[in-house]
Amino acid sequence: MNNLPNLTPDDLISFEEKVAETFNSGIIKAPVHLYHGNEHQMIDVFSEINHEDWVLCSWRSHYQCLLKGVPQQEVMDEILKGRSISLCFPEYRILSSAIVTGVLPIAVGIAMSIKRENGTNKVHVFLGEMTSETGLAHECIKYSTNHDLPIRFVIEDNGKSVCSDTREVWNTNALTYENSTADNIYYYKYDTKYPHAGAGKRVQF
Q: Check binding of 34 to ligand TPP (CB under 6 A).
A: no
Q: Check binding of 131 to ligand TPP (CB under 6 A).
A: yes
165 burial via Cβ count (<10 Å: 0-12, 13-18, 19+) = exposed
**The only residue of 64, 129, 185, 199 in contact with ligand TPP, by rule CB under 6 A:** 129
Q: Check binding of 38 to ligand TPP (CB under 6 A).
A: no
Measured in degrees and rounded to the nearest 5, phi and psi for residue 94 equal -135, 125
Q: Check binding of 16 to ligand TPP (CB under 6 A).
A: no
**The only residue of 16, 92, 96, 128 in contact with ligand TPP, by rule CB under 6 A:** 128
35 vs 54, beta carbon nearer ligand TPP: 35
At closest approach, how far in Å is the CB of 126 from ligand TPP? Answer: 9
Q: Check binding of 160 to ligand TPP (CB under 6 A).
A: yes
Binding mask 65-94 for ligand TPP (x = CB under 6 A): ------------------------------
At closest approach, how far in Å is the CB of 115 from ligand TPP? Answer: 27
Q: Check binding of 97 to ligand TPP (CB under 6 A).
A: no
1 vs 163, beta carbon nearer ligand TPP: 163
Reference 60, options 198, 204, 184; nearest CA is 198
Beta partners for residue 157, in sequence order: 189
3-class secondary structure for the chain?
CCCCCCCCHHHHHHHHHHHHHHHHCCCCCCCCCCCCCCHHHHHHHHCCCCCCCEEEECCCCHHHHHHCCCCHHHHHHHHHCCCHHHCCEHHHCEEECCCCCCCHHHHHHHHHHHHHCCCCCCEEEEEECCHHHCHHHHHHHHHHHHCCCCEEEEEEECCEECCEEHHHHHCCCCCCCCCCCCCCEEEEECCCCCCCCCCCCCCCC
If binding means CB under 6 A, how many residues of this protein chain bind ligand TPP? 16
Q: Which stretch binds ligand TPP (CB under 6 A): 12-20, 62-70, 97-105, 139-147?
A: 97-105
**The only residue of 154, 156, 177, 185 in contact with ligand TPP, by rule CB under 6 A:** 156
Contact residues toward ligand TPP (CB under 6 A) are 59-60, 98-100, 128-131, 156, 158, 160-162, 166, 196
